[in-house]
């Protein structure tokens, strides 16, 4: 699983911010569907989206006796609704306001006979505007969308490889549309202290259920939220004393105190001769640092490198 740095797309948060923010809002829009249609799965995993060769998609969603998925297709600049009866419809999103997409998507779901509630406002953003009322102009640069999608796919490949080496409970590699990050989370199996909550426009009960047990989590986001460039991150909850001072293997990694996380700038990954190896070193070294300080149980990590198609060495 060797990815050369040149295989990782160029990202520029400052230049692409308008398109990134548009994509974030559209993912929030389709991400609301599993909140209202899918049974609750531990830690809110049912609401997270999965990366596909074209974009990010919901789980299969029940709508009465019907079933469908909603996907934001980054490459085709569209929301795609695929149904169990074989029907598949595409709604172009480029150049439209959030309110316009909301209206047209609600109409499309109704026409397809999918009783899917589509209302509300974004989560985890300051001063959210309800989707139906957001008439602000939105940017969509097709090249920026394509490059962002490629970066998410590269991160997803690495997170799945990292996940494969853990015997304990672990989340899938999945995209949380609220915070707009792709993440993979490992669990020790032990309960955690009650989380203080306080995430903007997210009910505390959701945050507390998400962090009901000890976690060491890693992820990737395209920028924003306190660090205005694309980066990989890693953190633990609860955060053990001394984690900020714990050495990790890569010179480009640093501790961001305001976030309580280790950060690895995406640019440093892309510049590396073997980008995938750099990401794997980041994931493993930050996990090892946090697990040692939290005294996680032994025997949860498989020592061998990931092996595709066959079980890893035990």
pTM above 0.85, yes or no: yes
How far is it, in rounded angstroms, from Cα 189 to Cα 215? 9
Which residue intervals of 77-141 are DSSP H helices? 98-111
Tens digit of each residue's pLDDT (9 = 90 or more) over 167-202 = 999 999 999 999 999 999 999 999 999 999 998 888
Q: How confident is the model at residue 157 (pLDDT cuts 50, 70, 90)?
A: very high
233-266 per-position pLDDT tens digit = 999 999 999 999 998 989 999 999 999 999 999 9
Neighbours of 68 (CB within 10 A): 24
CB atoms within 10 A of CB 193: 9
Average pLDDT score, the chain: 93
Mark out the alpha helices in the chain (DSSP H runs).
13-37, 98-111, 142-163, 204-210, 266-271, 275-294
Torsion of CA 171, 183, 141, 144, to 10 degrees: -120
Minimum mean pLDDT range among 37-41, 154-158, 162-166, 212-216: 37-41
Q: With 0-12 CB in 10 A as exposed, 13-18 as middle and 19+ as buried, what is 143?
A: exposed
> Is residue 314 predicted with pLDDT exceeding 70?
no
- The helix/strand/coil state of 218 is strand
Among 17-21, 34-38, 165-169, 239-243, name the one with the lowest average pLDDT: 34-38
Percent of the chain with pLDDT over 90: 86
Burial of 104 (0-12, 13-18, 19+ CB in 10 A): middle
Return all residues near 36 (Cβ < 8 A) that are at least 6 apart.
116, 117
Return phi, psi of residue 218, to 5°.
Answer: -135, 155
Domain ranges of the chain: 13-133, 142-294
Kindly state the average pLDDT of the residues 309-314: 54
Position 308 scores a pLDDT of 47
pLDDT band at 5 (very low <50, low <70, confident <90, very high): low
């Amino acid at each position: 699983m060797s990815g050369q740095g040149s295989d990782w797309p160029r990202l520029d948060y400052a230049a692409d911010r308008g398109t990134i923010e548009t994509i974030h809002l559209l993912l929030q829009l389709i991400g609301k569907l599993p909140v209202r249609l899918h049974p609750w799965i531990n830690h809110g995993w049912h609401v997270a989206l999965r990366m596909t060769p074209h974009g990010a998609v919901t789980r299969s969603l029940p709508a009465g006796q019907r079933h469908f998925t909603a996907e934001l297709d980054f490459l085709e600049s569209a929301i795609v609704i695929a149904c169990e009866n074989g029907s598949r419809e595409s709604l172009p999103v480029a150049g439209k306001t959030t309110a316009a997409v909301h209206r047209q998507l609600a109409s499309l779901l109704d026409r397809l006979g999918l009783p899917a509630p589509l209302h509300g406002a974004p989560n985890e953003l300051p001063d959210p505007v309800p989707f139906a009322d957001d008439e602000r102009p939105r940017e969509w640069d097709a090249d920026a969308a394509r490059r962002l999608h490629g970066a998410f796919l590269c991160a997803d490949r690495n997170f799945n490889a990292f996940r494969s080496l853990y015997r304990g409970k672990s989340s899938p590699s999945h995209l949380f549309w609220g915070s707009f990050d792709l993440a993979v989370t490992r669990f020790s199996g032990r309960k955690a202290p009650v989380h203080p909550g306080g995430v903007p426009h997210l009910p505390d009960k959701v945050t507390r259920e998400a962090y009901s047990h000890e976690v060491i989590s890693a992820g990737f986001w395209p920028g924003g939220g306190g660090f205005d460039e694309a980066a990989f991150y890693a953190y633990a909850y609860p955060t053990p004393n001394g984690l900020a001072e714990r050495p990790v293997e890569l010179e480009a990694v640093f501790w961001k105190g305001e976030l309580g996380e280790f950060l690895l700038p995406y640019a440093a990954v892309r510049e590396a001769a073997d980008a995938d190896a750099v990401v794997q070193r980041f994931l493993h070294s930050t996990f090892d640092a946090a697990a040692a300080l939290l005294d996680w149980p032994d025997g949860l990590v498989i020592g061998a490198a990931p092996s595709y198609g066959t079980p890893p060495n035990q």
